[in-house]
Structure 1
Amino acid sequence: MAEPLVVMDESGEPNPYLLGVYAPVKDEITAGDLRVIGEIPRDLNGVYLRNGPNARFPMKGRYHWFDGDGMVHAMHFENGTARYRNRYVRTRAFASESAERRSLWTGVMENPKGNPFGNTRGLNLKDSANTDLVFHRGRVLATWYLCGAPYSLDPLSLETIGVETFLDTLTGDFMAHPKADERTGELFWFDYGPRRPYLRYGVVGAGGAVEHCVELDLPGARLPHDMGITENHAILMDLPLYQDMEAARQGRYKLTFDRDLPSRFGIIPRRGQAGEIRWFEAEPCYIYHVVNSWEEGEEIIMDVCRVSRPAPAGIGSPLSRMLSYLKLDARMYRYRFDLRTGRTSEEYVDEDHNTEFPSIDARRVGRRSRYAYNVSVKDADTNLFDGLVRYDNETGSKQTHHFGEHRYGSEAPFAPRDGATAEDDGYLVSFVTDEREGVSEVQIIDAARLTDGPVARVLLPQRVPLGFHATWVRSDQLR
């Protein structure tokens, strides 16, 4: 259903995350017979899906980029052809606002006291399922960045099937970035909140039910966003960034980064009990996204995009403070956790390049991976992804691809070509939007040769706003 296009929130202050390349689109469409520059490889078969915020109604108060309604954009490739589709995630909040034809929630920058409902762990904010997409057992799960209900989607039609309860075994909430192990069929997750237990960790088995869940003790409420897994362990985080609870009691959202506290990483056997977790300390930081983690003998290695200044000293208007908090400034970083000695080693992989939203070959999650594919973050007031970077773990080298002047892309998951075995034997796929022209395309890039540029560009009939995370679902998984 078409809704009025949102271009400004109720604050009356022009918000860059509602304008230009971020401006929401109002129509849900399906389009084939698309114009192609180059040739779509016939060995690229599957569907590329990307989630992100797409506000339908003016917010009650000031709009934050994380507040927008979840909308999934998808490109289905089959035997050299492509079809585009976009659909909202039909959450409970979406249904409530559809019935009233107006916004019913305030966002993260406002007092949530009068909001209709929130998640089950005490955050009375709008769960819009706008953050990540994770494939598991034939469906794609749309998740929310602050822990909410995972919504199950059909990967081709994008129909919202409903809240995923894992055969009625999930209690509580679900974090933004669960980890799927293709070899075992398991799905690893945690949830957190402002009340005890501050952190719970669980495992969904290959049969689709939650088979393991433990409560873990933290010193207080934290804001973990991602986790890692290896063949035998899970890695959870206790980072020194947390919500100011006194401000929360006053209805204000304020983050505190305590440089006097270490970053802590909890390593627990995959199906371990709370008493088996081991905590490793490191320099204070924040981590939005884990690249991958794996075991080497008695060591666990974890590569991340590390943020050293997650809570800058925002000055000026509330909007300017929001922009300063949203700004990504991350570097590729490596931790080594020695299970024999309990010591942590840490170092930069790339100290110079601001890159984020990492992807790897999904078949390598939890095992040593050679390549990581990140987006390059432009030095600008808002988050703009101006290119792609490929990191090589074996040689230490990197390749880059620039989308072009005033052209900005999306997270680009690795899409293996049919029958591929190597981690770069395939393609990277990304939505790319031209800021000046207001048009979008899909770029297909050879993962082994980023510097060659796209092998094909599929022009789209509708602009795709910049958004959050993406996934690739192979044709054999669709079957």
Structure 2
Amino acid sequence: MTSTSEQPLLVACAAEQDEPNPYLLGVYAPVGEELDTADLQVIGKIPADLNGVYLRNGPNPRHQPEGRYHWFDGDGMIHAVHLENGKARYRNRWIRTKAFEAESAAGKALWTGVMESPKGNPFGNHHGLGLKDNANTDVIFHRGRVLATWYMCGTPYGIDPLSLETLGAEDFLGTLVGDMMAHPKVDERTGEMFWFDYGPRPPYLRYGVISADGKVVSTTDIELPGPRLPHDMAITDNYAVLMDLPLIQDLEAARQGRHKITFDRSMPSRFGVLPRYGTGDQIRWFEASPCYIYHVVNAWEEGEEVVLDVCRVQRPQPSADAHTPLAKMLSYLRLDASLHRYRFNLRTGRTTEAQLDDDNTEFPTVDSRVVGTRNRYSYTVRISPESTLKFDGLVRYDNLAGTKTEHLFGPGRWGSEAPFAPRDGAAAGSEDGYLVTFVQDEREGRSELDIFDAADLAAGPVARVLLPQRVPLGFHATWIRADQLGTDRR
């Protein structure tokens, strides 16, 4: 075991009001050690046909925050468990972004967060948004390396999937100009990656494709009425699906140097469908009822229709009784989402939409090998009724049978995003595999990696890998198969 001890000593209060900030306490409190621990203790037995690595990104502030802390402000840290031949190894590392290195050299925080004015911050993203790019949001596997991304659109950072070494800002062989959003889509059948870039000034949205050899080969501007905050996108065999949703940037606040968003219920949601290598003038817009969408489940084509499954948020705004900045943040981070399906008819231009489930679920995953094609199974985490964002269980949806299965972690136990991990050699799109997730036991102050049989979720974990330190609650995760780990990591 190796470790680097840099334990943060953070005051868990919001500035000025002196209110305790729960996103710096308990199950959210940052950890200060970077560990590398092999031969972890296992309750049960790790399946012999499960080989690969589970990685999860999330905020882990290294220095005392300047001003009021928002959960999105923390420095990115990846926690990973590598499973091989029934053995488990844990490793965690901060993501060494440009901002992280600058603060490391200074020995203190140099940036304020999203709840403060960014005017005095050293630098921001390519669009001039002065917030700190922490690369703390997602982890995407492409061409042998992991990309760590940021929710507000920033620089993707290359990460080695085993050592977790930061390989540096990823510019795709010098072809990426600008930023990349948090959730690019990879088509494993072709090796291509699809992405967009957005900002507060024209062009408000830019869409692009990265080829299997790692170069940006197509970009186009997408005309929008004004600045938006899109978070995710979808692909099908022939199309990309982009979003223009009525969660918009407050222009008056922007002129005052503040970052503020507003949900305008008088505006429709719009979904743009364009050919994968299309140009902005080829996009077709489909209107639907107002909402916000953080995360796409998947999309595919059925005859003349493009079908899109999402986790749809109906009220992406603080509750009316949230008056203080901290109360507004707590309210805003309380997701209220449900599984929803859109159909866009490419011949008639008609949109149809329907709610598929009324349970509050989010952070969806499918077998990564079927992204862009029709999937039978999808998986989400269940949102607890707690005042802060916590995942209290897993949900499995069977789109063919129209059924769902749940597993609840139990009192005081909270999970992470749970990607599907196929058994070695399993066919794409089947349920022949596992779900893997970190679970933090709030009562015991302990974290573990739980492994579930994807076909029998209700039976509970087949194995629990006990981790050498607590893993704070965080954001997105991915599973990388053993056969992918041998690919080119240049």
Cα distance in 1 for partners of 2:12, 2:241 equals 40
| Contact in 1 for aligned 2:149/2:156 (Cα 8 Å) | yes
1:378-432 Cα distance to aligned partner (Å, 9 max, x none): 0111001000000110011000011111000000000001111152101000000
The structure 1 residue matched to 2:204, chosen from 195, 198, 202, is 198
Match of residue 62 from structure 1? 68
- Between 314-323 and 164-173, the greater mean CA deviation after superposition: 314-323
Does residue 244 of structure 1 match 2:250?
Answer: yes
1:125-184 Cα distance to aligned partner (Å, 9 max, x none): 000000000000000000000000000000000000000100000001000000000011
Match of residue 301 from structure 2? 295
The structure 1 residue matched to 2:9, chosen from 2, 5, 11, is 5
Cα distance in 1 for partners of 2:410, 2:386 equals 15
- Between 80-89 and 253-262, the greater mean CA deviation after superposition: 253-262
1:341-369 Cα distance to aligned partner (Å, 9 max, x none): 00000001102x10000000000000000
Match of residue 41 from structure 2? 35
1:187-209 Cα distance to aligned partner (Å, 9 max, x none): 00000000100000000001100
Does residue 461 of structure 1 match 2:468?
Answer: yes
Cα distance in 2 for partners of 1:378, 1:251 equals 35
TM-score normalised per structure 1: 0.99
| Contact in 1 for aligned 2:8/2:64 (Cα 8 Å) | no
Residue 9 of structure 1, CA deviation: 4.6
Cα distance in 2 for partners of 1:10, 1:57 equals 15
Match of residue 20 from structure 1? 26
Cα distance in 1 for partners of 2:128, 2:351 equals 34
Q: Secondary structure at the match of 1:102?
A: coil
Residue 297 of structure 1, CA deviation: 0.6
Cα distance in 1 for partners of 2:352, 2:340 equals 11
Q: Secondary structure at the match of 1:94?
A: helix
Does residue 114 of structure 1 match 2:120?
Answer: yes
Residue 8 of structure 1, CA deviation: 1.6
Cα distance in 2 for partners of 1:140, 1:99 equals 26
Does residue 451 of structure 1 match 2:455?
Answer: no
TM-score normalised per structure 2: 0.96
The structure 2 residue matched to 1:273, chosen from 268, 279, 283, is 279
Match of residue 336 from structure 1? 343
Match of residue 315 from structure 2? 309
Cα distance in 1 for partners of 2:14, 2:476 equals 27
Residue 311 of structure 1, CA deviation: 1.1
Does residue 417 of structure 1 match 2:411?
Answer: no
Q: Secondary structure at the match of 2:200?
A: coil
Any gaps of 5 or more consecutive residues in structure 2? none
Match of residue 270 from structure 2? 264
| Contact in 2 for aligned 1:7/1:19 (Cα 8 Å) | no
Residue 4 of structure 1, CA deviation: 2.5
Cα distance in 1 for partners of 2:197, 2:351 equals 25
Q: Secondary structure at the match of 2:342?
A: strand
Match of residue 472 from structure 1? 479
Residue 58 of structure 1, CA deviation: 1.3
Residue 272 of structure 1, CA deviation: 0.3
Percent identical residues: 68
The structure 2 residue matched to 1:381, chosen from 370, 382, 387, is 387
Residue 316 of structure 1, CA deviation: 2.2
Does residue 320 of structure 1 match 2:327?
Answer: yes
Which amino acid is the alignment partner of residue 334 of structure 2? K
Residue 313 of structure 1, CA deviation: 3.7
Does residue 140 of structure 1 match 2:149?
Answer: no
| Contact in 2 for aligned 1:9/1:58 (Cα 8 Å) | no
Does residue 398 of structure 1 match 2:412?
Answer: no
Which amino acid is the alignment partner of residue 410 of structure 1? S
Cα distance in 2 for partners of 1:388, 1:476 equals 26
Residue 60 of structure 1, CA deviation: 1.0
Any gaps of 5 or more consecutive residues in structure 1? none
Which amino acid is the alignment partner of residue 240 of structure 2? A
| Contact in 1 for aligned 2:8/2:31 (Cα 8 Å) | no
| Contact in 2 for aligned 1:9/1:61 (Cα 8 Å) | no
Matches within 5 A, 1:197-236: 197-236=203-242
- Between 288-297 and 7-16, the greater mean CA deviation after superposition: 7-16
Cα distance in 2 for partners of 1:332, 1:59 equals 36
Which amino acid is the alignment partner of residue 31 of structure 2? V
Does residue 428 of structure 1 match 2:438?
Answer: no
**Aligned residues, how many?**
478
Match of residue 105 from structure 1? 111
Note the aligned Cα RMSD (angstroms).
0.9
Match of residue 93 from structure 2? 87
Residue 34 of structure 1, CA deviation: 1.2
The structure 1 residue matched to 2:193, chosen from 187, 194, 201, is 187
Q: Secondary structure at the match of 2:33?
A: coil
